[in-house]
Structure 1
Amino acid sequence: MAARDSNLLAEIDRNFLLCGICSERYRNAKILPCLHSFCEPCTNKLAKTSDGSITCPVCRRSHELPNGVSSISSNGFLNDLVDLFAKRESEDGSRNCQACEQEGATTRCIECAFDICQLCASAHTKFPLMKAHRLMSLDDYNVARCSDLTSIQPPVYCSAHREYQIEFFCDTCKEAICLKCTALDHAKPEHRYRCVQEAAGSFMEDLSAIIDKMKEKETETVQSKVAVQHVLDSLDSCFRKETDEVSQQIRQKVEEHTRLIQENGNKLQAELKAEYEKRKFNLTAQLKELDIAENDLKCTCEYVETLLRYGNAPQVTSAKKGVEDQAGELLKLKTRVSPTEDDYMEFVRCDDVCKDWRLGEIICFEKRLKKRTTSRRKRIVMKTTPSRRPQRRW
């Protein structure tokens, strides 16, 4: 049991708490509009190298910074997790009471993030300001720390009024606020607000629906990638096959018309290669765009799933707007697409090579359609033209 819990915590630390740039644990994580997070020092370095914008090193998206580095918000969810893990690692094995510093800590105060003894726990609940604090035995706390991080996370305090906890969500301003905010900056009737737990419940349903839609888009992206990759593989095979045909025809005629046939053959190969490289470039570019879309959708889904699994109500409400903005952009992506190019290329041999010193020509899809249209028009003209019969002489 202990080994499994330790592995779970190590997995959370490794997958969610390490900066993608410096590979170290987040130091005041900053979150970009694309929902990728990096350390504050790393973010500052990225911003210094750009002019009024910042490019995400993961998805390569560019984001404008109208107010400089201050435009980048802190990721409170990740920062709270980092603090929680830091406190866990700093705890020693003696379990001394962090209030009276005596041995025998038995209880954990979630709000204070302190381990206290039984005597201090009894006194803790007698103070009016601490009566609402949640106390938990250390055994229960250790179990919850490995299985339900949400239940033991300390409360989130208002950024404007540090002494007040987040208790409400203002639907007018789309902000998580405290009790003091409702009286000063978000007073009724200009502002509409509700309990943060109620708002978080509805937001979780919205975010779950967004995840389902993005997973559908991700599936479409994967299917489109498979189709494009299939055409690309077929194009490679067709290119090799037809190149061999051209080379074989060159070898058969090279002794008879060496110079002219070789020049024409090189021209054909260049035309075939140019057509192949053009199509391969377009298909590869399309495949890269689909890969970026798939990665963005997958990263966003992983972030939101982590937020729903480990985040508390204030964290969910604080991150909702950024998630909805990013998800809105991703859901606009056109993921159900067809390959931009076809894989049809054919080398048509010329029957009389000596007539104009041509081995043949490269037929592509567009040329084939044009030829069919021209021949169809000729047949129509022949059918509609009246035949002339010779006059008899009597």
Structure 2
Amino acid sequence: MTTIRILISLAIKKGWDMYQLDVNNAFLHGDLHEEVYMDIPPGLMVTDTRMICKLKKSLYGLKQASRQWYDKLAQFLYSRGYSHSTNDYSLFYRKIGSSLVFVAVCVDDVIITGTDIIEITSLKNSLHNEFKIKDLGRLQYFLGLEILYKDSGVIISQRKFTIDLLHEFDCSDCKSVSSPLESTVKLKAGEGILLTDPTYYRKLVGKLNFLTNTRMDIAFSVQYLSQFLQNPREPHLKVAYHVLRYLKNDPCLGIHLSNNADCSITTYCDSDWAACPDTRKSVSGYVVLMGDSPVSWKSKKQTTISLSSAKAEYRAIRKAVGELVWLERLLIELNLPCKLPISVFCDSQTAIHISKNPVFHERTKHIEVDCHFVREKKYKNDSSHSITSQQIIS
């Protein structure tokens, strides 16, 4: 989804048209490279009941189906001079002189954008002749994302998905609240009565997780609820319903991708020290902006226990820097090299000092690997990975 958001943001900033295609019966186009047999389907009359069918083509339901469809589509695009991205295999591109065309694929949904309208038209015709596609015209609705075009750019939301979610869990008539999570809430894994049907909670949290593709305001709450999927209890479900009541406050809320020509990358990161009352692990969070448009964000519990808030903050920086290293490589493939250096804003003076201090000592030995990673990116002579750390006032 980060790649999709970046591609849409780039197209809006460059003024490129975006088109959406849908492939008919995508999984049926795949060629099988191994022997696969199936029982005689119901309704097919055969003389010998011991007979079985040997498949020559892929079918829906096969574990190989999605892989074989991708392979078939990739081979077709290769034949037209396209290459797949080494940073995201769902992205293909073709660069010849001033002609740029990008193809983003997710199962049977395809986005095409770029500078060369003639090549885009030719590609759509060739895809139709090869696979039978539906040309859905200008990009409007993709993977549950609704794209609303404005004079200042586009607004991406999941309005329909949010409204359907409220209906499904009977929260359409509930009283709305103004925050996704109360500051006093401290859930524990073993407190409360176990739910009789844990799949109900898992289904709800799974759908909330999908909603974070456009709602970064609930990212922290959703990762918090995701910690209790194994044995959900009544207090956990109550907080999940609180998130639904927050969504009811404005189900149309989404992200705004500006058409401002500024493509500089800026990152903000933070951590919540010892946030988990069971494990005392901290939570990292970051958001990456392209100009003034949010394109990547994450809230995730750290894998190890931080002995101080400074270490938790430093590990949050490492997460953000890791995302930036990948993002920089992706932007180069999109023909948009990052304007360097990239600024990473953190509100911990101690964490900033650790990134600048080349000496390891007693207070930093527990985060040596993270220190090596961030310092290398900060001081590397190769400017393509140059990153600066700055302090902001909270």
Structure-2-length-normalised TM-score: 0.18
Bigger helix fraction: 1
| Bigger Cα Rg | 1
Bigger strand fraction: 2
Structure-1-length-normalised TM-score: 0.18
